[in-house]
Structure 1
Amino acid sequence: MSKTQTQLPTDTWIPASWQEYLQTFTDLLNKQAKSYYYKGHMRLEMAPVSFDHGQNHVVIIFAVTLFAALKGIPATGLDTTTFRKTGIQDCQPDVAYYVRERAQSIPTGTGIVNLDLYPSPDLVIEIAKTSLLDDLGTKRSLYEDLNVSEYWVVDVQNAQIIAYCIAEQGSKRIQVSQVLPGLAIALLEEALRRSREMNQSEVGAWLLSQFQQNEG
């Protein structure tokens, strides 16, 4: 590909060979950007810089990790990690989780997670400030093909979460997580709404009380 990284369009899928994608990926290593590869196309996204995106990102990670800890569910969360099927697919979701028997399936010291060697994450989350339609469309198909168990899209503008369970390379909407049984999507949405009026410590205390009530 003769174009330089600064000339390549962002937030759209463009045709590219795997080798062209890898060269672009290498060029991105020292830049704040994310990249995806799927069905002979690559997509580049500049790293989010908005307050709303960052705030939702932190609230979701805290909520999922807190719920797993209180329920005794082994979980390992990953932030903007590269998952790769060589020559076929590449993705850098905002958040990913391995849970239960897979919680320690990726050894310390791993750089890019090679999905030819390791399992796909159980839960993938994309925080959508400007990429909502693509997160609900092409990226959902990508994660279906990777056999991720569950996929959430956080609609930052509307403080909503569109959650899907994935099976047999298809997906359907859910209102309660199956990967984290008992975790209601509506409760997480309420936490996002509260984060607009409260600081995150207060939102965390509210989440803790809700999770403990539900336990009882």
Structure 2
Amino acid sequence: MSQLQTQLTDTWICASWQEYEQAIANLLNDKGKSYYYKGHMRLEMAPVSFDHGQNHVVIIFAVTLFAALKGIPATGLDTTTFRKTGIQDCQPDVAYYLRERAQIIPTGTGIVNLDRYPAPDLVIEIAKTSLLDDLGTKRSLYEELCVAEYWVVDVQNAQIIAYTMADQGSKRIQESQVFPGLAIATLEEALRRSRDMNQSQVAAWLLSQFQ
């Protein structure tokens, strides 16, 4: 295990589930993100950049505002662990449970046990340095977990690569399927505006678009 510890940042390492549990217990201490998939683990440093944090806030506000205005029950989660013990583990930047699932996870839950509860309807990764992996291996992970929709926010280019997922496959979309009427282009414009406006101004613009 000691030989693995120098290689645990932002890369997939072959490891048993027991090694993964030891790694996250010894090294993360809530200061990073962790993933386990097909006998490999990936530990990421906690995001620290202004751009990542700004995009994170804007996308959560935009999705929650749209849900509220359209009367769609929604519960958003920030960097929550979803786990199939011994098989898969992930900590997406943002996740949403919608409609009849909006209150399916009880208050007081720590790690969300996916052997007991369904996967989120929407998962979002904010990609500052992890874009290729978010579009590749993590997308495969979320396909297998039966997430309904997956977005990758490309921070550098203010772009959102969105997929609808079914039957362990995925297809690019330009309008959300879990939030009908929500155009991905509108969210991208909000991200671009956030570079020159404060977030209150971006919020007012989004409100004008959604009403």
TM-score, normalising length: structure 2: 0.98
CA distance in structure 1 between the aligned counterparts of 2:3 and 2:111, rounded to whole angstroms: 25
- Equivalent residue for 2:153? 154
- Equivalent residue for 1:98? 97
Taking structure 1 as reference, are residues 115 and 31 closer, same or farther at Cα in structure 2, changes over 3 Å only? closer
Over residues 152-178 of structure 1, what are the superposed CA-to-partner deviations in whole Å (9 max), with x where a residue is unaligned? 000000000000000000000000000
The amino acid across from 1:99 in the alignment is L
CA distance in structure 2 between the aligned counterparts of 1:28 and 1:75, rounded to whole angstroms: 33
- Equivalent residue for 1:163? 162
In structure 2, the gaps of 5 or more residues are none
Q: Number of aligned residue pairs: give it.
A: 211
CA distance in structure 2 between the aligned counterparts of 1:12 and 1:88, rounded to whole angstroms: 18
Question: Is the Cα contact below 8 Å between 2:17 and 2:86 reproduced in 1?
Answer: yes
Tell me by how many angstroms 1:32 deviates: 1.2
Q: Counterpart of 1:34 in 2: which secondary structure?
A: strand
Question: Is the Cα contact below 8 Å between 2:162 and 2:184 reproduced in 1?
Answer: yes
The amino acid across from 2:77 in the alignment is L
CA distance in structure 2 between the aligned counterparts of 1:100 and 1:111, rounded to whole angstroms: 22
The amino acid across from 1:93 in the alignment is P
- Equivalent residue for 1:35? 34
Over residues 71-101 of structure 1, what are the superposed CA-to-partner deviations in whole Å (9 max), with x where a residue is unaligned? 0000000000000001100000000000000
The amino acid across from 2:39 in the alignment is G
- Equivalent residue for 2:52? 53
Verify: 1:44 aligned to 2:77, yes or no.
no
Q: Counterpart of 1:78 in 2: which secondary structure?
A: strand
- Equivalent residue for 1:113? 112
Runs of 4+ in 1 over 4 A off after TM superposition: none
Verify: 1:2 aligned to 2:12, yes or no.
no
Tell me by how many angstroms 1:30 deviates: 2.2
Over residues 113-137 of structure 1, what are the superposed CA-to-partner deviations in whole Å (9 max), with x where a residue is unaligned? 0000000000000000000000000
Over residues 11-44 of structure 1, what are the superposed CA-to-partner deviations in whole Å (9 max), with x where a residue is unaligned? 1100000000011121245251111000000001
Tell me by how many angstroms 1:9 deviates: 3.0
Q: Counterpart of 1:77 in 2: which secondary structure?
A: strand
Verify: 1:131 aligned to 2:130, yes or no.
yes
